[in-house]
Amino acid sequence: MIPVTSKIDLQQEYPALFDIDSNLNRLVKRIELLSYVNPLNIEKEKHRFFSSKYAVEPEFKYPKLKFDPYKLQRLFFSQRLERIQDDTIRKFYQDVVYYYANMIQCIETIGRGKKFYYNSLRVYGTPTEKDVDNAKFILHFSDEPLGADMDKIYTAEEAKAYFEKFAEQYDFPLNIKYSVHISADAMVSNATRTLFVKKNTKFSKNQLLTLAHHEIGVHLVTTYNGLQQPLSIFSNGLPKNVETQEGLAVLSEYMGGALTLKRLKELAYRVMASDSLIKGYSFADTFDLIHGHYKLNRDEAFAITLRAHRGGGFTKDRLYLSGLRKIYKRYKNEESLDILLTGKVALDNEPSMMYMKQLGLVEPITHKSYTFQQKLNTNSTLDFILNNLK
């Protein structure tokens, strides 16, 4: 916890900075893309798609916006950043404003086809040739036999109990809610500090371990670390933070002994699905690529296709594999990961953060991710793959 006197001293030394940071904090709280981009009628459209023998394009419906996009964007740009006298910090916050302005445009155009897709590209980019090559490299490995720990036998209620037990090692509260409107089986909402568990689904033992390390061991750790920082922006999210945060989260799965070749292939399929968007593939085309060409079972192929096509074309999923590659390289070089656990931050932010740390504006982390303290992975195939990603 930050000493109150320390924060007061900083506020007195940097009044304009803390004023702007506080304003942005209030504005950012009103937008969380994932709460709008997940369709409300997934199961109905999945049934319709399967009944049509994969021919009819799903017609997804999305939540209504709870804010006026134009007014909110105007409030972001009304911040008088010139009041921040330090050039490095002012540039830091300029990037933040542009990032959230783009995010608002993303949310505003959900469900509007190419408009949303192009806005998504501005925030998340598209797979590079290297990303696609890495995905194909992973997919050429033969499937490994599945053990009993991959059988989906645990209910959402049992998953909740498992996550609560896992979280006991961390000194922060765990708020769990059930949901039927998420595309993943579990996900963290940063704004509400809530772990959502998909209702009416079954989990395997390996999946529970994977989700615990991914969602609690990294996403909630960075959420609560960010809240302990003097400046609120670290808990809200910095530009390009998704690639770094998901890279950390998947490395956490690897270090915790939860990562499997099947899971790594899932990340590769996501890259291929994201890449299909820039080729102009329809939902049915992408599904045919994943299910027809790569022979993934239809339920998992639908889930991957949905994640890529939701909203009109969502490229966020391409960042998991590239993020893992970058974070794994850092881990192999024996570089500390602590600065990346400070909050929702990105590798690109590190120089600015180190500078702000010298000024007392970035504090050491409160919560460590216990997964990173020992390597429990014993799968030599995974080691070979990760060591040979481009």
pLDDT in tens, the chain (390 residues): 444 447 888 999 999 999 999 999 999 988 888 889 989 999 999 999 999 999 999 999 999 999 999 999 999 999 999 999 999 999 999 999 999 999 999 999 999 999 999 999 999 999 999 999 999 999 999 998 888 899 999 999 999 999 999 999 999 999 999 998 777 889 998 888 899 999 989 999 999 999 999 999 999 999 999 999 999 999 999 999 999 999 999 999 999 999 999 999 999 999 999 999 999 999 999 999 999 999 999 999 999 999 999 999 999 999 999 999 999 999 999 999 999 999 999 999 999 999 999 999 999 999 999 999 889 999 999 999 999 999
Q: Is the dihedral of CA 243, 246, 248, 251 positive or negative?
A: negative
- Give the per-residue pLDDT at 207: 96
Whether residue 68 contacts residue 44, with contact meaning beta carbons closer than 8 Å, is answered with: no
Q: What is the pLDDT of residue 31?
A: 85
Among candidate residues 122, 135, 112, 113, the one with its CA nearest the CA of residue 280: 113
Q: Where are the domains of the chain?
A: 4-387
pLDDT computed for residue 271 by the predictor: 98
Using alpha carbons only, give the angle 72, 319, 201 rounded to the nearest 5 degrees: 85
pLDDT at 36: 92
Is the Cβ–Cβ distance between 134 and 390 less than 8 Å? Answer: yes
In what side-by-side order are the strands of the sheet with 186-189? Answer: 175-179, 194-198, 186-189
| Per-residue pLDDT, 182 | 78
